[in-house]
Chains A and B, each alone.
Chain A
Amino acid sequence: MRIKILRIIIYSAILLVGINLFYIQIIRGQRYFNLSVHNRIRIVPLKERRGRIYDRNGVILADNRLSFDITVIPQDILDKERLFDFLSRTLEVDRDDLLRRFDLKRMTPFAPVVVARDVDKKTAMTIEENKFLFPGLYIQETYNRYYPFGTVGAHVLGQVGKITAQRMEEIGDYGFTPSSTVGYAGVEAYYDDYLRGKPGGIQIEVDNRGRQVQLLSLRDPESGEDIYLTLDQRIQEVAARVLGERPGAIIIMDLDSSEILGFVSSPSFNPNAFTSSALQKEVGRYFTDKGNPLLNRAIQGLYPPGSVFKTIVAMAGLDTGKISADTVFDCRGYFALGNRRFHCLHVHGRQNLLEGIYHSCNVYFYNVGDLLGPDILHKYARMFGLGGLTHIDLPFEEEGMVPSRLRRKMENRGWYRGDTLNLSIGQGDLLVTPLQVLRLMATIARNGRDVQPHLIRKIGKKNIVRFSTIRHVGLARGVYETIQKGLRLAVAESTGTARHLNIDGLRVSGKTGTAQSVPGKEEHAWFAGYEVAAKTKIAFCVFLEHGDSSYYSVRLGKELLQELRKQEIL
């Protein structure tokens, strides 16, 4: 009967258990007993190597350096008091502090507790020389993230830190899981899944003096994959030097492929501070510094674009047919609306579109904007990517905001004609990031071809090509040509607002912008444009937060390009 069969199965299982018990406890019993007597099994975590980050020329931007941690294995400690006395003296740390932290971090008797991270060579040698006096004390080799160029390009790279504790909880309570290093900003975060490896470990049997007798079990750590960026570190250096301590951002992009060649934001920070014990104090400073060094102004800074926006107004006007290149408006220094006056910086007199652009005449664009109305302005702004993400391969990008009548209605505020006028010259509620402005210029330069700005070239051995998406912003015939002409004249004409960028041997086009910020603070200074004569065609944007006048951003742009030429990078 079936119960008989079941009986046989169950009895067999029980017998199996019994036999196994006999095997473990009698046949191998003595061996296990020996292992237990002196707790002779040690575990040693093996840290994984994180993937390196290279620039386009193979220069290493983020690397791993060997560092030494001082660890204590609780079960091996013979004389706790003496050990911590010694440690306190050698590490120059308060003894009670050290003890307290040790007790807090201690999990199980066999898991090594890190009492000091990344110690200098002298300390490491002192420990190494004396560790035979203090059973339980070990030096643990590990990898630490290292950025050879410090503050240059820090925002693109980002920083790393330890993984949070809650991830560990899921593993439950069996054994010991070493913590991994994980990226928290920039490319370190965006490509963390590729960069991150897997930790390994070994189990060894030791004799009563702690020397290895046998390797019981080994799991090799897995290295992360290296990634290659489109950045050119030489350009980064120049850009960082030119920008200096001034708050702002400089972005340089290859015009054809939209590969980002240079990307700096200032004030900057040293990402090494997050992993190096020597620089640790800096971290606190970064978080409290009012200058906000951790902010990546290129993609996270939101500012009114000012006159740069006039390019969009012009294109909207031409494309809708509301104006033509020959449309003339008379600038008397102001535009009258009711009993208010909207001002222009100079009295420009009668101007056509091109003149309006290269003189950056407010009155001209008040007129155009007034003709078009807020809805059309909103539409064209969105068409060129303002108010939306560029989806660059960096985390925490900001969208910015293009004001609209609809939104105002939802907020129960009205839209007034004055708002349209403000919008026409890039003021009001309009907020953009320097990267969005750059993208706008590049699209114009390429006759409407909008290519995905990106930082990645290769992951491991695989080239990333599929990544660049293409979109076309189609406008009526001749519109782009006209605008491009205007932008070129801004540099080439003797009265152009960007005339200082007229450098011999280069063909620069672009638009300046001076945007009002908040009352009491200086205006923001913009220049965004492109250069097509050098061996690499580029688009670039120079932004100075509270820079006072676009004159300064233009001058900075000039310094930048001249320096790049001098070093034959361009």
Chain B
Amino acid sequence: MQRHISLLIWIFTFLIVAAGLVALYSASYHNPRVSERIFYDQLWIALIGFGLMFYVSRIDYHKWYDAAYFLYGLMLFLLVLVLISGRHALGAQRWLTIAGISFQPSEFAKLFFILALARYFSGCRSAISFRYLSFSQSLWRHLIFPLLMTLLPMFLIFKQPDLGTALLFFGIFGVMLFISGLEYRYVFSMLLLCLLSAPLGWFVLKPYQKDRLLVFMNPNIDPLGAGYTIIQAKIAIGSGRLFGKGWLAGTQNQLNFLPERHTDFIFSVIGEEWGLLGTVFLLLCFFVIVFCGLRIAEQVKDRFGMQLCIGIITIFTLQFVINMGMVMGLCPVVGLTLPLVSYGRSSFLISIIMMGMLLSLSRKRRVF
């Protein structure tokens, strides 16, 4: 069984990446905004990535446990750094350049964050803590403190501004908190608190972010802007029908209706060129990865491993579900990329490293 899981992960990761490259080639093909270089870029990153995946899979995941808090600190440092001196593009400061290489700290932040959170959750719930902590102490340790651990990077990322990734952090926290065994009543009251305070978040949003949420609810609000992009994305995907229009033949994408098709909207390229067969195929690949990941989580030996595994799956799932939802008009446009498919070096590397970590975790499962 163990062998099978690992194999499945390898195969389907490979399939996803391959599909992504094919789509990326098409997205960059006649694109006046990006050169075809990005395809080769991604290809190289993919090759390096697989190597990395192999290497990571061989590392005992307990090593990550040791480094978790250090990496959390490093994450904060990088996030602050990018706010101070990051490179500006598309109205956001998300990239940092060190030694000539530019990368997105918020992508790395995702990984370091779940490491730290996993370590924390695995340690805070010992038998002793149940019996000898007062209510408020318990609340602090099991809920408040990890919440603060989450809010800190969330805030820094939000400042970039990167609303999507910031919300992602909260989603990850929610799931990992749930898994950590927190009593249900706390979980529900947390949920309630979030729902009640969400409207307050409205005031913190920048005007264009507000616009994005409003347009999602009613595309009529912005028929020229985001409302137009959403309908074009739907047309692109929908027009693919069952078999798609064929590789490089996607008219909506080839004719430049979707400016962000090599990043956020790449799923629309797949939908248009490969039809339902293509989209469902990709969805199934992601499903298999999630399936394997959940299996591993059930069987892994220690709490840290389980939390880490769940963290990885959550990141992965939230990203691909929201991204696909975005492109189909099910979610507001929040700028989350499709893992292993969208163009973006940092995003790809982190995703593939996480696949490697899944492999590493799968080796240490309880064997029956």
For residues 144 through 188 of chain A, which have their beta carbon under 8 Å from a beta carbon of chain B? 169-178
Q: If the complex has contacts A3-B179, A13-B317, A175-B225, are A33 and B294 also in contact, measured as CB distance less than 8 A?
A: no
- Judging by beta carbons under 8 Å apart, are B279 and A45 in contact? no
Residues of B within 8 A of A18 (CB): 280, 283
- Judging by beta carbons under 8 Å apart, are A216 and B324 in contact? no
Q: Does B152 contact A (CB under 8 A)?
A: no
- Judging by beta carbons under 8 Å apart, are A30 and B241 in contact? yes
For residues 24 through 50 of chain A, which have their beta carbon under 8 Å from a beta carbon of chain B? 24-26, 28-33, 35-37, 39, 41, 43, 45
What is the interface of chain A, defined by CB distance below 8 A to chain B?
A: 1-3, 5-7, 10-11, 13-14, 16-18, 20-22, 24-26, 28-33, 35-37, 39, 41, 43, 45, 75, 108-110, 169-178, 200-203, 216-219
Q: If the complex has contacts A17-B283, A203-B223, are A173 and B206 also in contact, measured as CB distance less than 8 A?
A: no
The contact of A32 among B179, B239, B290, B321, by CB within 8 Å, is B239
Residues of B within 8 A of A171 (CB): 91, 208, 211, 225
Residues of B within 8 A of A16 (CB): 330
Q: Which residue of the partner chain B has the closest CB to A166?
A: B91
A48 to B299, CA, bound (A): 63
- Judging by beta carbons under 8 Å apart, are B241 and A25 in contact? yes
Q: Can you list 21 A-B contacts (CB < 8 A)?
A: A1-B298, A10-B294, A17-B283, A17-B325, A17-B330, A20-B328, A24-B271, A25-B240, A29-B276, A31-B238, A33-B241, A36-B251, A37-B239, A41-B232, A43-B228, A171-B211, A172-B91, A172-B208, A175-B228, A201-B223, A202-B223
- Judging by beta carbons under 8 Å apart, are A41 and B225 in contact? no
A-B pairs with lowest CB-CB distance, top 6: A32-B238, A175-B225, A36-B239, A29-B241, A201-B224, A217-B223
A546 to B151, CA, bound (A): 66
- Judging by beta carbons under 8 Å apart, are A24 and B234 in contact? yes
Q: Does B101 contact A (CB under 8 A)?
A: no
- Judging by beta carbons under 8 Å apart, are B206 and A6 in contact? no
- Judging by beta carbons under 8 Å apart, are A20 and B259 in contact? no
Total interface residues in chain B, CB < 8 Å: 63
- Judging by beta carbons under 8 Å apart, are A174 and B229 in contact? yes
Q: Does B108 contact A (CB under 8 A)?
A: no
A434 to B175, CA, bound (A): 69
Number of A-B contacts (CB under 8 A): 177
Q: Does B231 contact A (CB under 8 A)?
A: yes
Q: Which residue of the partner chain A has the closest CB to B276?
A: A25
B211 to chain A, nearest CB (A): 8
For residues 315 through 339 of chain B, which have their beta carbon under 8 Å from a beta carbon of chain A? 317, 321, 324-325, 328, 330, 333
A206 to chain B, nearest CB (A): 14
For residues 209 through 267 of chain B, which have their beta carbon under 8 Å from a beta carbon of chain A? 211-212, 219-229, 231-232, 234-242, 251-252, 255-257, 259-260
A110 to B252, CA, bound (A): 11
- Judging by beta carbons under 8 Å apart, are A32 and B234 in contact? yes
Residues of B within 8 A of A26 (CB): 241-242, 276
Q: If the complex has contacts A41-B235, A217-B223, are A21 and B310 also in contact, measured as CB distance less than 8 A?
A: no
- Judging by beta carbons under 8 Å apart, are A3 and B239 in contact? no
Residues of B within 8 A of A21 (CB): 237, 271, 276, 279-280, 283, 324, 328
A33 to B234, CA, bound (A): 10
Residues of B within 8 A of A28 (CB): 238
The contact of A174 among B179, B181, B225, by CB within 8 Å, is B225
B272 to chain A, nearest CB (A): 8
- Judging by beta carbons under 8 Å apart, are B260 and A108 in contact? no
Residues of A within 8 A of B239 (CB): 29, 32-33, 35-37
Q: Which residue of the partner chain B has the closest CB to A111?
A: B224
- Judging by beta carbons under 8 Å apart, are B231 and A41 in contact? yes
Residues of B within 8 A of A41 (CB): 228, 231-232, 235
Residues of B within 8 A of A29 (CB): 238-242, 276
B326 to chain A, nearest CB (A): 11
Residues of A within 8 A of B260 (CB): 173-174
B15 to chain A, nearest CB (A): 16
Residues of A within 8 A of B225 (CB): 171, 174-177
A10 to B175, CA, bound (A): 11
Q: Which residue of the partner chain B has the closest CB to A25?
A: B276
- Judging by beta carbons under 8 Å apart, are A109 and B255 in contact? yes
A295 to B54, CA, bound (A): 71
A198 to chain B, nearest CB (A): 11
- Judging by beta carbons under 8 Å apart, are A36 and B328 in contact? no
Residues of B within 8 A of A35 (CB): 235, 239
A2 to B314, CA, bound (A): 14
- Judging by beta carbons under 8 Å apart, are B208 and A24 in contact? no
Of the candidates A3, A177, A218, the one having the most CB atoms from chain B within 10 angstroms of its own CB is: A3
Q: Does B178 contact A (CB under 8 A)?
A: yes
Residues of A within 8 A of B226 (CB): 174-175
The contact of A14 among B240, B255, B283, by CB within 8 Å, is B283
The contact of A176 among B224, B231, B256, by CB within 8 Å, is B224
Residues of A within 8 A of B283 (CB): 14, 17-18, 21
Q: Which residue of the partner chain B has the closest CB to A202?
A: B223
- Extra pairs beyond A32-B239, A217-B231 (6, CB < 8 Å): A6-B294, A14-B321, A33-B241, A36-B236, A39-B252, A174-B333
Of the candidates B90, B223, B287, B306, the one having the most CB atoms from chain A within 10 angstroms of its own CB is: B223
A201 to B221, CA, bound (A): 9
A342 to B179, CA, bound (A): 93
Q: Does B24 contact A (CB under 8 A)?
A: no
- Judging by beta carbons under 8 Å apart, are B294 and A108 in contact? no
- Judging by beta carbons under 8 Å apart, are A2 and B178 in contact? yes
- Judging by beta carbons under 8 Å apart, are A110 and B257 in contact? yes
Of the candidates A109, A200, A219, the one having the most CB atoms from chain B within 10 angstroms of its own CB is: A219
A239 to chain B, nearest CB (A): 42
